Structures are given as C-alpha cells and as structure tokens.
Structure 1
C-alpha cells in the first residue's frame, strides 16, 4: 500500500524562525570555509608557482580544486538524499580539513595539485550541502532572503580571502594559506554537529530502503568532465589541437558522456536525475550557473596577475583591490534575495545580471599597462553587481523547478554546472593566458613561466615593460573570451519564464508517475 504522504512532500518537520537562524549560523560558517580557501590561495599563486614550479602549472592549482568539487557535487547531493544531510555534511568537512593539512605539506607542484583536488572533493560536499539544507528547511517563496544571505558569504570570503592570503604571502610562508583552514574548520564541525541534529536521517540510513548509489554514473561523470577540462587546458599549449592526445581526449569525452546519459536514464537512484532537465527553467538556470562560474573564477584567478605584475601591487594589496567587485556582489545578492522574497519575482535579475557581466568584461578588455587602479575598480563594481544578480537566483530557479524528493540531486546538478563553468573557465583562460605570455615575452630568454613579482623588479626597465605588456595582453585575451560566454548567457536569460515560487503549503513539481504508481496511490485512498 502506498504511503499517504505525497512522494514530493519533504519529510523535514517545520522549523521555527529561531531554529532556522540557529541552523543558518552553522551553514554560513561552512560556506565561508569552502569559499575562503580558494580566495586565500589566489594572491599566493605567483609566489607558489615560483617556488614549486612554473607558470605553466598556475591554472591547475585552481583547476584541480574546481574539477574535483565539480565532479563530486552531484554525488554529494545524492548521498544527502539517501543518508541524510548531517552525516554527509560532516564527512565533507572532515575530508576538506585533512586535505588542507596535506596541501600545506606539499613538496612539489604535483603533490600540491593532488591535495588541492582532495580539498575540492570536500568543498563540493560543503557547497551542495549548504544549499540542500536550506532547500529542505525553507520553502522557495521564503528562500530568497536566506539564500541571498548565503550567497553574500561568497563576496565576504572573496574580500577576506585575498586579504588573508596576501598577508600570509607577504609575511609568512604560503603554506599557511592552507593551515589557516584548521581553526575555522574545527569550529564548523562543532557548530554543524549541533545545529543540524534536527534534520532527518535519509531513507537508506534508517533502513527504510536499500541504498543504491550510482557509482557507475559518478565514475562516468568524472571521466567526461576531466577529459573535457584537459582538452581546454592542453589544446594549443601542451599539444596541438589535431594531435592524437587531444583527439583521443575528445573521443573519450563524447563516449563517456554518451555512456553517462544511458546509465542515468536506467539507474534506480541516478547521481544526476535527467528528469530535472525536462524543465526548461531548470536547464536555463543551469546554463546561467555555468556562465557565472566561468566568469567569476576566471576573473578572480587572473586579475591578481595584472595587479601584481603590471600595477605593482603587493599580494596583500591585490587582495584589497578586489574589494569593489566583492562588496558590489554582496550588496546585490542581499538586495536580490529580499526582492525575490517580497515580490516572488525573479526573471529580471538574470537578464540584468548577464547584461552587466557583458558590459564589465568589454570594459576590462580595453585596459593597458597604464590603466589606473581607480578605473579597474569601477569595472570591478559593475562585474560584481552582475555576479550578485546571478549567484543565488540560478540556484533558486533550479530548486523551484525540481521535485522535493530530488532537491539534493537537483542542487548538486546546478552546483555542478556552476563549478564546471569555473573549471572550464580557469583551464581554458589559463591556457590562453599562458600561451600569450610565453609567446610575447619569449625574447627575454630564460623560463618566463617562473617569473615572480619580486624577480620582475630586478630586471632592466625595458625587460619589465616587455613582460608587463605580455601580461596585459594575456589578461585582455581572457576577458574577451569571458565576455563572449557572458553574451551567450544574456541571450539565454530572456527565455526564463516567471514561474510562481512555492510557499509553505504548496507542493513541489511532481515527477511523472508510472501507471503502476498511480494505481497504487489510488488504491490507498
């Protein structure tokens, strides 16, 4: 006999405002932990690659982290659906902290990239876990203000991260950029242990159903996204586009993706339910999440290169110079969340957000070696406003388009797409940047990939100018490509439909039922 409870009704008991506030405190700390790490490392990258390797490895310090978190997010979301949010969330924190210690102990670039990937595995669980918990305790109609608060943590981390990372780089060893995660992580573990205790255990954890983890789908997902990122990283740089290596990776990407789709269509508990993509709004929200990931991570990764090598900023100051972008993103994220909660309308935000991204990136593509910090700060404000319009809105639209029983997997899917955009953005833009700099600065002789800001100061004036012009040209190239991606997002944003956001008493969209399920439900009435 079928249960009297509708299949799409969440099992979580209603939380009081006080309980939601208490739970949010733990989630905010966890999101800060996940976001702070990547931002702390960014200002330290020039020093790290100069110490452990060369510029050709720069992108992979970030890409390894993003790639692992990208591939892991759908799996973490499904594990949360099966075993409950609390145990999977605490496990993700533990993995993240272990990897932080190992990254701080790395002795060469290969070790650092591997441990950064392990960090990304844990961070993927943190990010999807935070959003899935909010989706479980707060209905979409009220979720905007809470997700706005959570997305505002990202700019806070992006402001504090570069500041802390720059200070560590200038005054301590870069290894402390990883060790600094430990005290915050331990606080997160304690807070989340208590604040998430009210969340229900998953059906598999309680023995109500036999767990069916889609390991095959997870493996295929990891395979095709890794192969795709390798193509964008190596194509035209390590190997020619028509080389056997790149063509082989392209074939692997297509084959693994096709196999992934077939497996997900047949899996009992797919790691990424393809049914959610039947909603046009969900698909569009996922595409916009990919766009904002591409632009956000690409911009944060390469702006410090320009600020330190061309504008002469220290690692600490380059972190401070990112503040206009981060503050603008934080303000817009909070304002957008309040607007959605009060009006229930959201369609204008992705349209305005993508328009501002396109304009900001076009302006950034006009910089030269003499562009002032004031001018670039103005461009960063516009870029931040655009990101603030998109970061939480895309997640909200996606969650409102998915059944409540798949909220974790759906959140994991849209987070996956955002992180995939970041992975592709950093790897593709990194390959373009490195290729341009090595080509234009090749006349200097030696290995320009090992150039550091301190070493640049010791070069003759003409050599400094050549290298600074090469860096500027490389950064301009990355912004032109990012702008093209943002323009595609602007077109897609117009196709989003204004679907009413659900309130406390309104059920989520139902999955299509088989005739047997319908008969079973009717017989129980």
Structure 2
C-alpha cells in the first residue's frame, strides 16, 4: 500500500540525476560566461584604445554555484558590500601636514632651478671659471628633466613614500654638495645630483595627491601647488640676489637644507599609502633597465645641443647637428624597445592610442614652449628697456603669478563642483595666446597699468590649464597607469620648456644681432654686440644711440613673443582634441566591485 498522493509522480532515480546534472551544467555555464564577460571587459579597458572610462571599468558581480559573490583574488579583502577605496585621503591634520610637505617639495625644486641665475656673477669671480658657468643651469636642467618619467614606474614598484623620500634625500645631498663646493667641478656635480632629486619631487607631488584625492577634488589642490611653482619662479632671482649681496651665494643652496628637512620629516611621519608587496630583489627585477638607459641617453643627447646651440657652438656646427641626430635616433630605439621587450615598460606605447593622451601631451609640450618664451624675456624688457633693477624687474612679473594662482585655483574649484574640465585647456591657451599678442604693445613708454593688465591676463590663461591637463590624462587610463602618465606629463612640460628656451633664444639673439648691426654698420669689430652680454654698456652711448639700441631690443623681444604666440596656437589646436571623461570618486564606487589592479 502506497502512502504517496495519487496526483504526485515520483521521479525515477535516473531522471533526477539527469536533471540535477543539467542544472549544474547550466550554473557552471552562467558562471563561465560571466567570468568571460568580465575578462573581456578588463582586457578592453587594458588596451585603452577607445580612451573611455578605463580608470573605473565596471562589471557586474559573478556568483558561484551556491549563488554567492565570487571574491576578487587580487583584492581578497574587497567584496560588493565593502569596496576598497580608490583614494586614500588621511584625516584632516595628517592631510594638512602632507600637503605642506608637498608644497615645500615643489617650492624647492622650482626655486633651485632659477635661484642660481642671480648668483652666477659672484660664483664666476670666486672660481674664475667663466667658460663653465653655463653648466650650473644645464647640469640641473638635464638631470631633472631626464629622470622625471622614471619616477612614475619606480613609485609603482617600490611605493610612493619610499620613492619621494629617496628623491628628497638626493635633492638635499646635491644641495649640500653645491653649498660646500670648493671648485666649479664640484659645484656642477652637486647641481646635477640635486637635479636628479628635483625631477622626482616634481613628479611625485602630483602622483601622491592623485592617490589621496578623488578626481574631482584634486583639481583644487593641483591649482594651489601650480601657483606655488609660479611664485617660486618669481622670488627665486630675488632671493638669489639678496643672498649674494648681503650674505654669500652659498645660501642659495643651503636654504634647501632646513626646508627640505621639514618636508622629509612631515612625509616620513604622516604619509601612509598602500605599498606594493614583494621582496627587494623581486622589485629590482621588475625595473625596466633597458628603457631607463635609452630614455636617459636620448634626453641627454637632445638637451646638450639645445643648451649649446647659439651659445657655445653655432646651430649649424657638426657637434650640435650630430648630437641632435643621435638623440632622435636613440629616442626611436627607446620607442621600439618599450613596445616589444619589457613586461613593465616605463612608458607603455599603447597608451598613445588614447585620444586624450595624445592631445594632452601635445598641448602641454607646446604650452611649455610658450610659457618659457614669455617668462625668460619679460625680465629683459623690464631691466633693459625700462631700466629697472633685477629686484624691481622680478617684482614686475608678480601680476603674472597672481593670474596663475587665481585661475588655477578657480578652475580646480570648478572641477570639484561641476566635474567638467575638458574645455579649460582650449580656453586657457586661447586667452594666453591673446594676452601674449598684447605683449607686442610693450614699448619704451608703455604705462605700468597696461603691463599689469596684460601680464595678469597671461597668468589667467596659462593657470587655467594646469589642473585640467593632469586630470585629463588620469581620467583616460586605468589606475595602474596613473603614476606613469602623471610623471610623464611633467616630463613633457619640462622638455617643451627646454625646446622653447632654445628656439626662442635663438630667434631673439639672431634678430637682435641683425638689428644692431644694421643700425651700427660702422661699429669697429662688431663692438656694438657687446651690449647683448652686458646691458650696462648701453648707458655709455649717446642718448640718440641709446634710443636705437633700445628699439633693437624691443624688436628682438617682439620676435620672442611671436614665437610664443605660435606655440600657443599649436597648444590650442591640440587642446581642442581633449574630450571629457567622467570623474569618479569613492562614493561612485559604493556597492560596486573595484576591478582595478594594484599600483603595480
């Protein structure tokens, strides 16, 4: 007698087994499809070809056969309910100390680049080495520019804190060598060592801020730091002159030691960012030594002739042309090596398939050329044409810095509130181009009101681009490339500044020389050209001749401004190619898995 309900059919054992097997296979197929979809999405973001929202590539959670979420093997601590934060902003007091330290890093690195300019006459007299004086700037410029792009990947491998402390230490060692130098050779070596550290400081400041602050908030702070960079460019010559006149030129380097010590201490005791795992030997094996060597070699080979051309050697001399050809050849070899050989290249070539990377780097490069075309020749206008002292001439550029601070901070606040940024580079370069065109109005009798207005307008234009450039490249890539593209943007800007100095300087010198020789055709032995090296000689000429000389200088400066206008135009055109990408925050990641890999 059966106790089963007559309407209920009892399945056969074989039928039960088959149905259970089919259900298991269907669940496994669903999991496999979901994992495959996730892998495909991750690989699509890895390629970065479309330049889309690679930084925060999202995918739906997968589940196991029990219906539970699968945990991320690379991030076992993360799940859908408690996503790992993308940005690690410390408590307010700790954050304030870190920002002070980072601001001091930028201040020192940019100050040391220009403070020596007013100390060179005293250094020359002490060491009686006029022929080597150019190396004081060249040694620092070459090493700081060449090492900048290396710090991004090094910080991915060894950690942000270790890398920035290393850069700070190297910078202070170089400053100490320079301050206590007992020969010109020792001073040049010290400058080169300091440059290695300074390149790291400039790169690491923006990388660390990007780790702490989400993409909408960081623009405000990047603007502040950019203002400090511009401020130090103005007060550098003033401090250098004051130290030289009232104490000793050695204080131009010694001043770095106490300030750098404060910065190092604040970072050592307050900065706490995730550190990549692995032993020291494992991390060393990850370093791209081939790419590093080729990059350093190419930059050195390019910067040397750009520094010597028109000064130590003629631009058409064999050594200048040969070094330029060698530099470009090694640069091409670097690209081929980075494309094919290393597992973790310093600069992944596939990133340049992304639209915002190409457009931003191009705009930054030409913008750097335009910036130094202005900042180098405005002091000549104030000191030579208007006859002001070096101190007053430096103070005359304060409106330029004020404009940069206002627009860089203001644009950063806009990004924080609105989340949009793509239009700032185009608008900023357009304003800068227009303001640079107004610089052509500067004559011997131009009023102070006009110069203040024009210089502030220049600053407003260029300042609005700083934070937008950084945010643009960071929003276009995945987090593991963030340090690389951030360090590279500083490198591209520095490289543009070097090219700008060389090109604009050559144009200025040629036009000034041509104008002077045309105005004084009977000058014995081209003696009139001495005014190009020593402006004080101008006062020894008759009043009528002085007017002609000043007119020649105005013509040369105008051609320098023409170059900057052209560079602004190219920068504007490149900036028009920057497209908007959504700026994600930690809040946007709530309830979603973080797909991004570690810093490495």
Give me the TM-score of the superposition, normalised by structure 2. Answer: 0.76
Give the C-alpha shift of residue 158 in structure 1. 3.2
After TM superposition, the structure 1 stretch with the greater mean CA deviation from structure 2, 422-431 or 488-497, is 422-431
Kept in 1, the 8 Å contact 2:97–2:266? The answer is: no
Find the partner of 1:203 among 261, 272, 277: 277
Determine which structure has more spread, i.e. the larger CA radius of gyration: 2
Partner Cα separation in structure 2 for residue 69 and residue 346 of structure 1:
29
Give the C-alpha shift of residue 171 in structure 1. 3.9
Partner Cα separation in structure 2 for residue 129 and residue 103 of structure 1:
23
Partner Cα separation in structure 2 for residue 371 and residue 61 of structure 1:
35
Q: Does 1:143 align with 2:248?
A: no
Kept in 1, the 8 Å contact 2:114–2:236? The answer is: yes
Name the one with the larger helix percent. Answer: 1
Give the C-alpha shift of residue 185 in structure 1. 1.6
Find the partner of 1:260 among 315, 322, 334: 334
After TM superposition, the structure 1 stretch with the greater mean CA deviation from structure 2, 42-51 or 169-178, is 42-51
Kept in 2, the 8 Å contact 1:403–1:509? The answer is: no
1:75 — aligned with what? 150
C-alpha RMSD of matched pairs (Å): 3.4
Give the C-alpha shift of residue 49 in structure 1. 7.3
- Post-superposition Cα deviations, 1:486-508, rounded to whole Å, max 9, x if no partner, equal 10111111111111111114489
Distance 1:47 1:314, change over 3 A: farther
Q: Does 1:489 align with 2:571?
A: yes
1:216 — aligned with what? 290
Partner Cα separation in structure 2 for residue 292 and residue 322 of structure 1:
19
Find the partner of 1:445 among 527, 540, 544: 527
Partner Cα separation in structure 2 for residue 59 and residue 432 of structure 1:
19
2:100 — aligned with what? 25
After TM superposition, the structure 1 stretch with the greater mean CA deviation from structure 2, 205-214 or 369-378, is 205-214
Instruction: Say which structure, 1 or 2, has more relative contact order (CA 8 Å, 6+ apart).
Output: 1
Partner Cα separation in structure 2 for residue 56 and residue 461 of structure 1:
33
Partner Cα separation in structure 2 for residue 51 and residue 463 of structure 1:
35
Kept in 2, the 8 Å contact 1:298–1:426? The answer is: yes
Give the total of aligned pairs: 509
2:15 — aligned with what? none
Give the C-alpha shift of residue 254 in structure 1. 2.8
2:74 — aligned with what? 3
After TM superposition, the structure 1 stretch with the greater mean CA deviation from structure 2, 78-87 or 302-311, is 302-311
Partner Cα separation in structure 1 for residue 253 and residue 176 of structure 2:
7
Partner Cα separation in structure 2 for residue 115 and residue 441 of structure 1:
39
Distance 1:341 1:22, change over 3 A: same
Partner Cα separation in structure 2 for residue 193 and residue 302 of structure 1:
40
Kept in 2, the 8 Å contact 1:49–1:450? The answer is: no
Kept in 1, the 8 Å contact 2:370–2:563? The answer is: no
Find the partner of 1:301 among 357, 376, 383: 376
1:473 — aligned with what? 555
Kept in 2, the 8 Å contact 1:26–1:192? The answer is: yes
- Post-superposition Cα deviations, 1:328-376, rounded to whole Å, max 9, x if no partner, equal 1001111000000110001221111100111122222343333344332
Partner Cα separation in structure 2 for residue 305 and residue 112 of structure 1:
27
Kept in 1, the 8 Å contact 2:371–2:564? The answer is: no
After TM superposition, the structure 1 stretch with the greater mean CA deviation from structure 2, 172-181 or 262-271, is 172-181
Give the C-alpha shift of residue 297 in structure 1. 2.9
2:300 — aligned with what? 226
Kept in 2, the 8 Å contact 1:80–1:202? The answer is: no
2:398 — aligned with what? 323
- Post-superposition Cα deviations, 1:76-97, rounded to whole Å, max 9, x if no partner, equal 1111111111121122112222
2:67 — aligned with what? none
Give the C-alpha shift of residue 246 in structure 1. 3.8
Kept in 2, the 8 Å contact 1:84–1:205? The answer is: no
1:516 — aligned with what? none
Partner Cα separation in structure 2 for residue 66 and residue 331 of structure 1:
28
Q: Does 1:501 align with 2:572?
A: no
Give the C-alpha shift of residue 457 in structure 1. 4.4
Partner Cα separation in structure 1 for residue 313 and residue 236 of structure 2:
34
After TM superposition, the structure 1 stretch with the greater mean CA deviation from structure 2, 131-140 or 282-291, is 282-291
Give me the TM-score of the superposition, normalised by structure 1. Answer: 0.86
Partner Cα separation in structure 2 for residue 150 and residue 123 of structure 1:
15
Partner Cα separation in structure 1 for residue 273 and residue 243 of structure 2:
38
Kept in 2, the 8 Å contact 1:68–1:120? The answer is: yes
Partner Cα separation in structure 2 for residue 393 and residue 79 of structure 1:
25
Q: Does the residue aligned with 1:360 lie in a helix, a strand or coil?
A: helix
1:186 — aligned with what? 261
Kept in 1, the 8 Å contact 2:100–2:263? The answer is: no
Distance 1:14 1:94, change over 3 A: closer
Partner Cα separation in structure 2 for residue 221 and residue 341 of structure 1:
36
Partner Cα separation in structure 2 for residue 315 and residue 218 of structure 1:
40
Kept in 1, the 8 Å contact 2:148–2:203? The answer is: yes
Give the C-alpha shift of residue 232 in structure 1. 3.8
Q: Does 1:386 align with 2:457?
A: no
Q: Does 1:399 align with 2:478?
A: no
1:517 — aligned with what? none
Partner Cα separation in structure 2 for residue 58 and residue 335 of structure 1:
40
Kept in 2, the 8 Å contact 1:162–1:318? The answer is: no
Q: Does the residue aligned with 1:203 lie in a helix, a strand or coil?
A: coil
Find the partner of 1:371 among 446, 450, 454: 446
- Post-superposition Cα deviations, 1:180-226, rounded to whole Å, max 9, x if no partner, equal 22221222222222122x12333356777554212221222122233
Distance 1:479 1:63, change over 3 A: farther
